[in-house]
């Protein structure tokens, strides 16, 4: 098969007189950017031992050479042996420069190849023209010399690296892990296995779709570098954890001819496409699998000494503020306490701040909204908790100062910030039910949602009242014996069941309300006591088995995630409803057997 060098050689007039010795100069077509390396090739007919003299390459920085490759050419007089003598140069200033021809001895005389011209432009001019800067000498990596091991060449010129900014940290302290593919080859790569991050909360920063690439020098060679994935990791508990390998399958194309061709890389995630079999002149494709190494991370518990009693795992540096949307209310009028935590740290793991609500105020689970910058480590921004509340009793109420404790890994110390206390004045003026705000002051979104929530609240209130009356009828201080649920589980879950075909947020909102209705009936929970932490403590006190406690906690957390973050849930709604029914029945049986 004729090589591309042979074709170029023929175009240069190789088919001339038999006595004429072929000797040509070849350089990159198009402009070269200042700082870019490029190749100069001299193709010389080799009919014996010849003396070769390279020019001085004035105006350029010498990088490497000569690299000598052998080839064959075909002319009118048959097959001729050729030598391809290659030098790598670097452009150092803009302008139009002459590459002098080389000289070789031909018998008793000298022959000279033609001069060539190279245009050198600045990076700014390259950007205007859309000229891509090529890595130094990468076209040499594309050429597979006779007898060269292709797999060793792949190993040296295509590899995967993972870097982490720290290998030891505290629980909740951010770790940045970056996966990069380094290449000097013509390759098509596919991610066949993404790493597992068990024991961490994961926040993606850069993905394959961002197409982030750069150039780096490794052992004197310039590589195209593609950032495949960059993540923030927040450890959930102390211990020794491992970042699993990423695995990539690549198909690499090599040329058997020494040609000027800059390699390109294609990276996908999924199934590698079948190799292109349309045929490229003097090329071969080799398949190679690679993976990044495992990375061990040692996670330490924050110090026990001086740990505040209210510390709940916040790690970083934070501030806190609190406001009430309107502090003067009528009876039964709803208002919202807005608590904002800002700063940087493990926002994804922050729970709600502890608020000491005055007696007589009824509250509900907060709505949570984040405004975070995911491009920096650790996460920076705000998490806002909106607590809806109301009271039927007029008077002056005071919400004490809200304290928030956190561990600062930079100073290795615990710190606390405080939002000042707030006052609420409630008049004895009655607020008509029709004017009550929907969903804690938010605008009306969905008529069905309003009906479901309003019905659920009324049912909970009536059921709770009936349950309290039942308790009062029994002996003082003695739990009533053999009490059946006031309302059956199927009936309690009916609002959520009716919304199986509704959107995810609406269904999970209804399901969460049904669950809290159940615990309002069974345990008498209401107001600020209706939160996951308090519920789990009460269930443990009631000797509910750990499996049931963990299940109901997971279901409530899944509901919160669907409602407040908008993340798509993988669990089937019908399966989740059935799981909820089963665990509530187990809890009800346990409570009535106690």
- pLDDT tens, residue by residue, 54-75: 898 888 888 777 877 766 554 4
- Short-list 521, 517, 514, 528, CA closest to 468: 521
If one compares 594 and 93, the residue with the highest pLDDT of the two is 93
Radius of gyration, CA atoms only, the chain: 36
φ, ψ of residue 184 to 5 degrees: the values are -125, 20
- Tens digits of residue pLDDT in 161-199: 999 999 999 999 999 999 999 999 989 999 988 888 888
b/e map of 542-554 (b: 16 or more CB within 10 Å)? eebeeebbebbee
The arithmetic mean of pLDDT across residues 196-206, rounded, is 88
Q: Point out the least confidently predicted range of 31-45, 232-246, 571-585.
A: 31-45
How far is residue 8 from each of residues 2, 86, 114, 217, 283, measured CA to CA in Å? Answer: 11, 15, 14, 32, 17
Cβ 395 vs Cβ 360: under 8 Å: yes
CB neighbours of 400 closer than 8 A, spacing ≥ 6? 356, 421
Confirm if 265 and 180 have CB atoms less than 8 A apart: no
Spatial contact of 55 and 42, defined as CB atoms under 8 Å apart: no
Question: Would you state the pLDDT for residue 438?
Answer: 39
State pLDDT tens for residues 358-417. Answer: 999 999 888 899 999 989 999 999 999 999 999 999 999 999 999 999 999 999 999 999
Report the range of poorest mean pLDDT among 21-35, 161-175, 233-247, 323-337: 21-35
Q: How far is CA 340 from CA 173, 307, 386, in A?
A: 21, 23, 9
Q: Where are the alpha helices (DSSP H) in 319-367?
A: none
Average pLDDT over residues 277-286: 65
Q: Give pLDDT, residue 483.
A: 38
Average pLDDT score over residue span 130-158? 73
Determine phi and psi for 126, rounding to 5 degrees: -65, -40
Alpha helix (H) residue ranges in 399-497: 447-473, 489-492, 494-497
> Across the strands, what pairs with 181?
160, 226
* Cα(422)–Cα(329) distance, integer angstroms: 14
- When pLDDT is averaged across residues 286-294 and rounded to a whole number, the result is 92
How do residues 424-435 score in pLDDT, each as one tens digit?
A: 999 987 655 434
Burial class (CB in 10 A: 0-12, 13-18, 19+), 370: middle
Strand-by-strand arrangement of the 422-430 sheet: 328-331, 422-430, 395-399
Provide CB contacts within 8 A for 176, sequence distance 6+.
164, 165, 205, 230, 231, 232, 233, 377
| pLDDT higher than 60, residue 274 | no
CB atoms within 10 A of CB 406: 26
The model carries a pTM of: 0.54
The token pair at 46 is 């080799």
HEC-encoded secondary structure of 266-322: EEEECCCCCCCCCCCCCEEEEEEEEECCCEEEEEECCCCCCCCCCCCCCEEEEEEEE
Of 43-57, 98-112, 357-371, 475-489, the one with minimum mean pLDDT is: 475-489
Task: Tell whether the model's pLDDT for residue 481 goes beyond 60.
Answer: no
Q: What is the pLDDT of residue 443?
A: 37
Using omega within 30 degrees of 0 as the cis cutoff, is the peptide bond preceding 359 cis? no
Strands 116-121 vs 32-33: parallel, antiparallel or unpaired: parallel
* pLDDT average, residue stretch 289-306: 94
Number of neighbours of residue 138 by Cβ within 10 angstroms = 23
Averaged pLDDT for residues 298-319: 94
Question: Strand (E) positions, 51-130?
Answer: 52-53, 60-75, 78-91, 95-99, 103-106, 109-112, 116-121
Asked whether residue 138 carries a pLDDT value surpassing 60, the answer given is: no
- Tokens read off for 243: 């970042």
Secondary structure letter of residue 488 according to DSSP: -
- List the single range of 80-89, 128-137, 348-357, 471-480 with lowest mean pLDDT: 471-480
Question: Is the omega angle on the peptide bond into residue 66 within 30 degrees of 0, that is, cis?
Answer: yes
> Residues 71, 3: contact at Cβ < 8 Å?
yes
487-512 confidence digits (pLDDT tens): 578 878 887 887 887 778 778 888 98
Averaged over 437-456, what is the pLDDT?
42
pLDDT digits (tens, 9 = 90+) for 533-562: 889 889 999 999 988 998 998 898 888 777
Q: Work out the burial of residue 242: count CB atoms within 10 Å of its CB; fewer than 13 is exposed, 13-18 middle, 19 or more buried.
A: middle
């Amino acid at each position: 098969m004729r090589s591309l060098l042979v074709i170029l050689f023929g175009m240069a007039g190789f088919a001339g007189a038999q006595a004429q010795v072929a000797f040509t100069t070849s350089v990159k077509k198009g402009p070269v950017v200042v700082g870019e390396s490029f190749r100069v090739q001299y193709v010389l007919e080799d009919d014996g031992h010849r003396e070769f003299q390279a020019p001085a390459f004035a105006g350029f920085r010498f990088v490497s050479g000569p690299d000598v490759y052998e080839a064959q050419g075909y002319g009118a007089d048959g097959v001729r042996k050729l030598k391809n003598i290659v030098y790598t140069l670097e452009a150092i200033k803009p302008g139009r420069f002459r590459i002098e021809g080389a000289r070789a001895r031909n018998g008793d005389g000298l022959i000279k190849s033609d001069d060539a011209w190279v245009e050198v432009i600045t990076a700014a001019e390259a950007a205007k023209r859309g000229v891509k800067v090529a890595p130094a000498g990468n076209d040499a990596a594309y050429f597979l010399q006779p007898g060269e091991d292709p797999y060793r060449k792949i190993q040296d010129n295509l590899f995967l690296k993972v870097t982490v900014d720290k290998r030891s940290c505290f629980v909740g302290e951010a770790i940045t892990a970056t996966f990069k593919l380094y290449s000097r080859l013509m390759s098509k790569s596919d991610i066949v296995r993404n790493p597992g991050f068990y024991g961490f909360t994961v926040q993606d920063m850069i993905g394959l779709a961002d197409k982030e690439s750069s150039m780096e020098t490794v052992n004197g060679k310039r590589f195209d570098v593609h950032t495949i994935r960059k993540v923030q990791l927040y450890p959930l508990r102390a211990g020794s954890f491992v970042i699993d390998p990423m695995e990539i399958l690549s198909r690499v194309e090599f040329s058997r001819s020494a040609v000027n061709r800059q390699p390109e890389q294609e990276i996908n995630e999924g199934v590698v496409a079948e190799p292109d079999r349309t045929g490229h002149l003097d090329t071969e494709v080799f398949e190679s699998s690679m993976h990044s190494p495992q990375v061990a991370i040692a996670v330490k518990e924050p110090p026990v000494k001086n740990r505040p009693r209210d510390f709940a795992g916040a790690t970083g540096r934070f501030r806190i503020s609190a406001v009430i949307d309107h502090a003067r209310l009528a009876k039964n009028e709803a208002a919202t306490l807005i608590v904002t935590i800002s700063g940087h740290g493990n926002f994804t793991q922050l729970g709600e701040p502890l608020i000491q609500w005055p007696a007589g105020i009824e509250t509900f689970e907060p709505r949570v909204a984040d405004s975070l910058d995911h491009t920096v480590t650790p996460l920076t921004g705000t998490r806002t908790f909106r607590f809806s509340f109301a009271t039927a009793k007029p008077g002056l109420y005071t919400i004490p100062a809200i304290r928030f404790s956190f561990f600062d890994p930079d100073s290795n110390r615990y710190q606390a910030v405080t939002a000042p206390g707030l006052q609420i004045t409630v008049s004895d003026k009655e607020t008509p039910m029709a004017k009550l705000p929907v969903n804690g002051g938010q605008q009306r979104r969905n008529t069905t949602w309003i009906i479901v929530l309003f019905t659920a609240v009324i049912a909970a209130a009536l059921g709770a009242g009936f349950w309290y009356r039942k308790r009062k009828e029994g002996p003082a201080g003695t739990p009533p014996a053999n009490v059946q649920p006031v309302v059956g589980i199927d009936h309690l879950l009916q609002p959520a069941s009716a919304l199986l075909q509704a959107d995810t947020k609406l269904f999970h909102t209804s399901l969460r309300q049904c669950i809290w209705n159940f615990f309002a009936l069974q345990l008498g929970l209401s107001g600020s006591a209706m939160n996951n932490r308090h519920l789990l403590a009460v269930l443990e006190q009631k000797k509910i088995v750990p499996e049931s406690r963990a299940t109901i906690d997971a279901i409530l957390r899944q509901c919160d995630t669907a409602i407040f973050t908008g993340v798509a849930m993988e669990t089937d709604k019908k399966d989740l409803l059935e799981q909820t029914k089963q665990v509530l029945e187990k809890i009800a049986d346990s409570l009535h057997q106690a």
